[in-house]
Structure 1
Amino acid sequence: MPMDTAEYAPGRLVDVWDHDAPRTALMWHGAQTDARATMGPLAERLAGHGFVVMVPDWNSNADDRGRADLLRSLEFARSRSADPDALVLVGWSLGGLAAAGATLHADQLGVRFAHTVCLAGAFVVADPVSGEPLPTDLTGLTRSPFTLLHGIGDHVVPVTISRDFAETLRANEWPVELVELDTDHAAIAGAAHDPLADRYIPAEDPQALQVATGVAARIAAAAS
């Protein structure tokens, strides 16, 4: 699957798979700064389901906790989508929290999403998009569908966090599906953890790549 790298803002890079696919997915990595490569295996597999897939770098350690990077990458993806309001937003860990924040605050941002998929979302800290914890009362907000995928072997962000967020969405009558997978915090996003460097890297082992293949299929099915 062909991949190119572009700038979504001056000096800020985004990897783009399959420029000619009919649907577009924007994928936000986790808290590790400028870690777009970590989600490469998952992005490539999702592109195989008929998506243009964009994975930008972003910096959660910036003064604004990455808000400007996230919103500029969102603007970039929308500007290159045949239907900007049909964008599929996918986020992993802190990026999953950001994806949820962008979706809950879509009215304020003036955007819409076809579907939001959160992979091991870290929903218990302040959302980088709004700078505040996710609201629990969603009255008056425009409902948008969520899929939450979380590994039962995740020792970084426990699966109970996604269970609680799913309950919040259900209590507010938002459409949500929670799927618990037999995997860990890294493989669910097509990544692996390098313990020596204490960094996430693109997965190479067959078991993790098999997980990424299954996750890509679930994202594609949810967004269909």
Structure 2
Amino acid sequence: MWHGAQTDSRTAMRPLAERVHGHGLSVVLADWDSHADDRGRSDLLASASHARKHAGDGPLVVVGWSMGGLAAAGLTIHARQFEVAHTVCLAGAFMVPDPISGSPLPTSLDGDPVRFTLLHGARDDVIPPSASEEFASTLERNGWPVSCVLLEADHGSIAGATYDPAADRYSAATDEASLSVAVDVAARIAAVL
């Protein structure tokens, strides 16, 4: 499970990770540094290797939020050695180069299709829902199975986080509304297996 561009902020996704774990699933909630020279690539690949080893022969589901959602898509498309079974992107930032390849996501996909679930908040004022809708269209055109769902959430609550404008930072949600969204999103993640 990967957070967004905010450096080393896995704790912001803790409420969602805990709720996914509550469904009996193992969760690796990794930190990564999107501001590193390699845009976080080495951190992301190291955490993917750790998760793949932890999963053993079991299915690997990659979940990412915002820039982490873009990274999850990039890993699934470009790093096939991880054998991702399903990718869940929460408010994915699909309009910028992905940290795995350093390039925009391709519009022509090859290889065996991997199932994607794209979840986006209807009240997201950071990344427009159209970003997920357009990426879903790309996946569909290439014959990759995809589900794209708009939820009653904002950019933070979709990942179990809240935004503090004074600190200009996301942190773990404690409010009932955001935690309710995290419960819904966790159930949707658990349902992909």
Q: Which amino acid aligns with 1:131?
A: G
Q: CA deviation at 1:113?
A: 1.0
Aligned pair count reads 193
Superposed displacement of residue 82, structure 1: 2.9
- Structure-2 separation of matches of 1:172 and 1:206: 39
Which of residues 85, 89, 95 is equivalent to 1:118? Answer: 89
The Cα shift of 1:97 comes to 0.1
Task: Give deviations 1:78-106, integer Å, cap 9, x for gaps.
Answer: 1122325x111000000000000001113
1:56 is paired with a residue whose SS is: coil
Alignment of 1:50-65 (within 5 A): 50-65=24-39
Which structure has more RCO (C-alpha within 8 Å, separation ≥ 6)?
Answer: 2
Alignment of 1:38-53 (within 5 A): 38-53=12-27
Contact 2:49/2:82, CA 8 A, preserved across alignment: no
- In the TM superposition, 1:121-200 aligns within 5 A as 121-138=92-109, 140-200=110-170
Report if aligned partners of 2:173, 2:179 keep a CA contact under 8 Å in 1.
yes
Answer yes or no: is the 8 Å Cα contact 2:118–2:148 preserved in 1.
yes
Question: Equivalent of 1:101, from 61, 74, 80?
Answer: 74
Task: Report the aligned-residue RMSD.
Answer: 0.8
1:82 aligns with 2:56: yes
| TM superposition score normalised by structure 1 | 0.85
State the alpha-carbon separation in 1 of the partners of residues 143 and 51 from structure 2.
Answer: 28
Q: Which runs of 4+ in 1 moved over 3 A?
A: none
- Matched residue SS, 2:119: strand
Query: Match for 2:71: what amino acid?
Result: A
Q: Is 1:28 matched with 2:2?
A: yes
| SS of structure 2 residue aligned to 1:37 | helix
- Stretches of structure 1 that go unaligned for 5 or more consecutive residues are 1-26
Give the drift of 1:142: 2.0
Match in the other structure for 1:11: none
Equivalent residue letter for 2:171: I
Q: 2:85 and 2:24 mapped to 1: Cα distance?
A: 15
- The SS at the match of 2:107 is coil
* Structure with greater proportional strand content: 1
Q: Give the % identical residues.
A: 60
Q: Distance in 2 between matches of 1:165 and 1:187?
A: 21
- The structure whose Rg is larger is 1
Deviation at 1:141, TM superposition (A): 2.1
Instruction: Give the letter for the 2:30 counterpart.
Output: P
- Structure 2 length normalisation: TM-score? 0.98
* Cα deviation code 1:127-185 (max 9, x no counterpart): 000000000011x3221000000001000000000000000000001000001001100
| Aligned-pair CA distance for 1:114 | 1.4
Show structure 2 runs of 5+ residues with no match: none
Residue of structure 2 in register with 1:91 after alignment: 64
